[in-house]
Amino acid sequence: IVVFIFSIGFASKSYTQPVISMITASDTITYWGARMTAMVTTKGGWAVNSYGFIFDTLPVPTRATGAKILRVGTTNCPENASYIGTINAGSTYMESDKTYYVRAYVSKTTGGADTVFSDIMTVTTLSPEPPTCIMDSIYDLTLTSAKFGATATDKKDALNMIGKGFLYSYLEYEPNHSNAMSVVGIGNIINPPAPFTASANNLISGNRYYIRAYLLYKYINKTTNDTVYSDTISFRTLHPCGSVPSNINVDSITQSTARLTFTRGFAQTKWEVDYGFAGHLIGTGTTLITTKDTVDLAGLIGGVNYTIYVRAVCGDEVYGDWSGTYSFTTVPPPCAPVTNINVSNFTHSSAVITWMAGSMLQNKWEILYARSSEPFPNAGVIKEGNPVFYPLGLTPKKEYKLQIRALCPEHTSDWSAIYYFNTLPEGLQDDIDDIAEKVIVYPNPTNGTINFKAQDKQSITRVEIYSSLGELIYASDNLPESFALNNQKNGLYLVKIYSNKHVQVEKVILN
């Protein structure tokens, strides 16, 4: 309780005007006013026609400076009895959080207008507490719309709450009525806590928005409305490229064709497909654009393992993430032709010839080779085991040609295309030594681990191991002591060992 007492004492004498001997401020100070008390000791013979309080934010409140008057009474002014004035009307409301200078008064008009004032006291009004609200949820998101939920949690010092809604923007972190879009909330907020909701349409797909709820309210001592906001939260509208195609599957597989199916992501209508030999990097395979979730693949090679990926296309240069890897193997022909013929490590009298078998089951081939100016022989060299051949005794500085075909148990494949290579001039390089004599891979067959033994490990430049599906499962630039196949499936594995001069290919059986 803050009490301000103002008194004036007089010796016993006659009074010719009223004396206001006391004024107090009680504990009922609010954000719009206060209760004030004064006492008129004597009216001094005046015919009082008004008494009360006058107050202003200026140090000396007067009518001339626009001070407000709280009239308590007119002609019935008591003597030696206190009178109380309470601010409870719009015309006399004080402003919040301000210091006012207050004094009591007594006035008359009969016999000449006059007014007597008490000493001045001060009263500081309180700061009002605004209402509160919180964002509850963002729900039912689509590409271009969303729904919002919020709660008006407390009325606090507001006289009433007259409006509610939401403000949202993809540019402003603290959206307001001047820089953001708004929607009016639905719900009764007279008696908080009270929920309210709204919907927004015509949003931009895939955009992040900032949103906060608002309340419009009015204080008792103001003629204008105020706004209070919740904390800002964010949400993102859905986007066709925001999800990845799922349930990738390939069926109806033949030697040269297959059918791809997948489950489209939300609102997706266009996709890019990338497929190629097993282990290919995305962007290096065959690509196609489709508007259907079932795609026929053609031009495949029989008996080959492929990997395939799918992603959504949502506009010019706008793509979703690629799906996970899916693998499939085409049906091998009865005896598929060999591919990827390669000749390396040329010398003046030798070379190393490698190729890719038509299927993982092939282990026997016929190789024809001759000078390019001469016809092929009627019969070629039969090679069994690994797809690598070391022709020796070639003539220096000559062009040679070769063809290879697979010899299957019941069929013979077509001959490969003719491949040409040249030997070096004599003396530029020594004849090759068979690398198979230098690196031993054992045991074979194996129950899990294979070991490597070499006379000169430093000459080995790379080691690669392929699964029975043609997938690269190990690669190193150094020859390891051993490699564990324990976590792999049983079957046939291909081991390639490279040196500066040679390529050694071994087939290892995992039991």
Which residue, 113, 111, 116, is CA-closest to 77?
116
Indicate the SS3 state at residue 138: strand
Task: Report how far apart the first and last C-alpha atoms of the chain are (Å, whole number).
Answer: 95
Q: Which residues pair with 481 in a beta bridge?
A: none
Those residues with Cβ within 8 angstroms of residue 11's Cβ, 6 or more apart along the chain or in another chain: none
- What the chain holds in terms of domains, given with CATH numbers, is 19-124 (2.60.40.10), 132-236 (2.60.40.2060), 253-329 (2.60.40.10), 339-422 (2.60.40.10), 435-510 (2.60.40.3080)
Nearest Cα to Cα of residue 129 among 154, 163, 95: 154
DSSP per-residue codes, 266-305: TT---EEEEEEETTPPTTSSEEEEESSSEEEE-S--TT-E
Sheet holding 146-154, edge to edge: 132-139, 146-154, 194-200
Give the angle 383-386-389 at the CA atoms, nearest 5°: 55
- The runs of H, that is alpha helices, within 65-189 are none
Place of tokens 């955009």: 207
- Nearest CA to 466 among 285, 340, 336, 347? 340
The Cα 480–Cα 444 span in angstroms is 17
Q: For residue 394, with 0-12 CB atoms within 10 Å meaning exposed, 13-18 middle and 19 or more buried, which class applies?
A: buried
Residues 80/41, Cβ–Cβ less than 8 Å: yes
**Which pLDDT does position 22 carry in this prediction?**
60
pLDDT at 10: 35
pLDDT for residue 187 = 84
CA–CA separation, 478 and 494 (whole Å): 17
pLDDT at position 15: 53
pLDDT of residue 432: 44
Greatest pairwise CA separation for the chain in angstroms: 155
Question: Rounded CA gap, 285 and 308, in Å?
Answer: 9
Q: Which H or E element spans position 217? A: strand 208-218
Tokens at 268, concatenated: 């997706």
Helices (H), 173-270: none
What is the rounded distance in angstroms from the CA atom of residue 189 to the CA atom of residue 213?
A: 13
The verdict on pTM exceeding 0.75 is: no
Contact 479/463 with Cβ under 8 angstroms? yes
| Phi/psi of residue 226, nearest 5 degrees | -115, 165
Exposed / middle / buried, residue 439 (Cβ in 10 Å: 0-12, 13-18, 19+):
buried
Residue 494 pairs with which residues in a beta bridge?
Answer: 466, 507
Q: Are β-strands 146-154 and 194-200 bridged in parallel, bridged antiparallel, or unpaired?
A: antiparallel
Q: Which tokens go with 294?
A: 């079932």
Residue 13: per-residue pLDDT:
46
Token pair of 29 as six digits: 């100070």
Whose tokens are 């103001």? That residue is 222
Averaged over successive runs of 10 residues, the pLDDT of the chain (511 residues) comes to 36 66 73 92 90 94 92 89 85 92 91 90 94 96 94 95 95 94 89 94 92 96 94 92 92 94 91 94 94 95 91 87 93 85 84 87 92 94 90 88 92 92 71 56 90 87 81 89 88 84 81 83
Question: What is the distance of C-alpha 444 from the center of its chain?
Answer: 51
DSSP secondary structure, 398-454, as one string: -EEEEEEEEB-SS-BPPPPPPEEEEPPPTTSSPPPPPGGGTEEEESSSBSSEEEEEE
Query: Residue 87 has what pLDDT?
Result: 87
